[in-house]
């Protein structure tokens, strides 16, 4: 509200100055702008005092800002600096874990929003809308599905899908990859989830740092190693790395991680025609795969218990 008022009043000042020069009308409008800005600053100070008195409110505000910032920075790196979504998200994840450890999770969630294709959400305003919706979902879902890799991506997919629907943007239609690439997709999916899981669980790196390192490495190396379909393999690796962010309580060992990697690759291949270009789709693939294997563990446990 304050920003909209400031822009409108400032525009009026410039319009008056360009039309009539610097005279009484321009002075009056400029004074109005100054006084309104001072009043808004006083209100902002009062807002900050109220927020500081409510630590939960301050924490939620920081979460929203981190998600929005992560999305906009990733989208800028991906589109404007032509790094591509995988490298951009991996870089943001590594930097978030290295320099903003206390806020790396919401920043990385925002990065998943920022992985959206410019053909789906073409501007920073679209990404701002998507990340704002994702931030609301993040806050609502803080107490559920914790420890499941891919949860952040699912939150991002909800935001991107909602933004696309609200702005009447069609999803990109892609074909199912051929099996010439399919074999490599399975291989790199298993490698991606294993490397991330080992870095996170066995070497005690943060899940965000672990996924960011694996995703960044995949985004830089695989297009060189596999010129024909390296970008798809890089997407597969970072997708699997999201699954590898799972906690040890959800994925107890590397065997389950391998199974998750295989499911990730299968879903990645056959979901290609759907939700094309949406940020968070890869994380949603990971989320569904982790949940499926987690449920399978429960079934095995139930059968084992009742077979005694």
Query: How does pLDDT run across 251-291, given as a tens digit for each residue?
Result: 999 999 999 999 999 999 999 999 999 999 999 999 999 99
Q: Is the pLDDT of residue 105 over 70?
A: yes
Pick the range with the lowest mean pLDDT from 55-64, 119-128, 135-144, 184-193. 55-64
| Residue 101 placed within a domain | yes
Tokens 């699997």 locate to 240
Note the pLDDT of residue 106. Answer: 97
Percent of the chain predicted with pLDDT > 70: 81
| Residue 272 placed within a domain | yes
What residues contact residue 280 under an 8 Å CB cut-off, 6+ apart?
Answer: 112, 113, 115, 116, 134, 152, 153, 154, 155, 156, 157, 158, 159, 160
What would the pLDDT profile of 27-52 be if each residue is shown by its tens digit?
Answer: 666 667 676 666 656 666 666 666 55
Greater model confidence, 34 or 92: 92
Note the pLDDT of residue 172. Answer: 95
Distance CA 197, CA 170 (A): 35
Q: Residue 129: which domain range? A: 55-306
What would the pLDDT profile of 114-151 be if each residue is shown by its tens digit?
Answer: 999 999 999 999 999 999 999 999 999 998 999 999 99
| Residue 117 placed within a domain | yes
Counted domains in the chain: 1
Per-residue confidence band for 300, with pLDDT thresholds at 50, 70 and 90: confident
| Residue 160 placed within a domain | yes
Note the pLDDT of residue 139. Answer: 95
Q: How many CB atoms lie within 10 A of CB 45?
A: 10
Residue 276, beta-bridge partner list: 172
Q: What is the pTM of this model?
A: 0.82
Note the pLDDT of residue 148. Answer: 94
Distance CA 143, CA 146 (A): 7
| Residue 31 placed within a domain | no
Q: Is the pLDDT of residue 54 over 90?
A: no
Q: What average pLDDT does this structure show over 47-69?
A: 79
| Residue 20 placed within a domain | no
| Residue 126 placed within a domain | yes
Pick the range with the lowest mean pLDDT from 5-9, 55-59, 223-227, 276-280. 5-9
Q: What are phi and psi of 276, to 5 degrees?
A: -60, 130
| Residue 159 placed within a domain | yes
Measure the CA dihedral 211/214/217/221, to 10°. -130
Quote the mean pLDDT of the chain.
89
Q: What average pLDDT does this structure show over 154-170?
A: 97
What residues contact residue 133 under an 8 Å CB cut-off, 6+ apart?
Answer: 158, 159, 162, 163
State the Rg of the chain over Cα: 23
């Amino acid at each position: 509200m304050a920003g909209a008022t400031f822009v409108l009043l400032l525009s009026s000042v410039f319009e008056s100055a360009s039309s009539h020069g610097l005279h009484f009308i321009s002075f009056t409008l400029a004074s109005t702008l100054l006084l309104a800005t001072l009043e808004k600053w006083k209100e902002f100070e009062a807002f900050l005092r109220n927020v500081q008195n409510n630590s939960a409110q301050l924490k939620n505000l920081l979460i929203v800002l981190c998600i929005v910032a992560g999305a906009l920075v990733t989208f800028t790196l991906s589109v404007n600096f032509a790094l591509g979504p995988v490298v951009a998200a991996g870089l943001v994840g590594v930097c978030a874990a290295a320099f903003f450890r206390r806020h790396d999770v919401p920043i990385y969630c925002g990065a998943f929003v920022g992985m959206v294709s410019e053909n789906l959400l073409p501007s920073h305003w679209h990404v701002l809308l998507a990340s704002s919706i994702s931030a609301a979902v993040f806050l609502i879902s803080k107490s559920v599905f914790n420890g499941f890799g891919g949860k952040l991506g699912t939150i991002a997919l909800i935001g991107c899908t909602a933004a696309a629907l609200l702005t009447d943007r069609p999803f990109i239609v892609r074909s199912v990859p051929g099996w010439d690439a399919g074999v490599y997709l399975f291989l790199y999916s298993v490698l991606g989830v294993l490397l991330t899981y080992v870095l996170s669980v066995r070497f005690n790196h943060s899940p965000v740092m672990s996924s960011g390192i694996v995703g960044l490495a995949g985004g830089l190396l695989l297009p060189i190693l596999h010129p024909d379909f390296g970008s798809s393999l890089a997407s597969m690796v970072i997708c699997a790395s999201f699954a590898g962010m799972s906690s040890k309580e959800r994925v107890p060992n590397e065997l389950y991680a391998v199974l998750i990697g295989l499911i990730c690759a299968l879903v990645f291949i056959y979901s290609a025609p759907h939700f094309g270009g949406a940020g968070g789709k890869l994380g949603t693939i990971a989320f569904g795969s982790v949940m499926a294997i987690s449920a399978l563990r429960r079934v095995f446990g139930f059968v084992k218990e009742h077979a005694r």
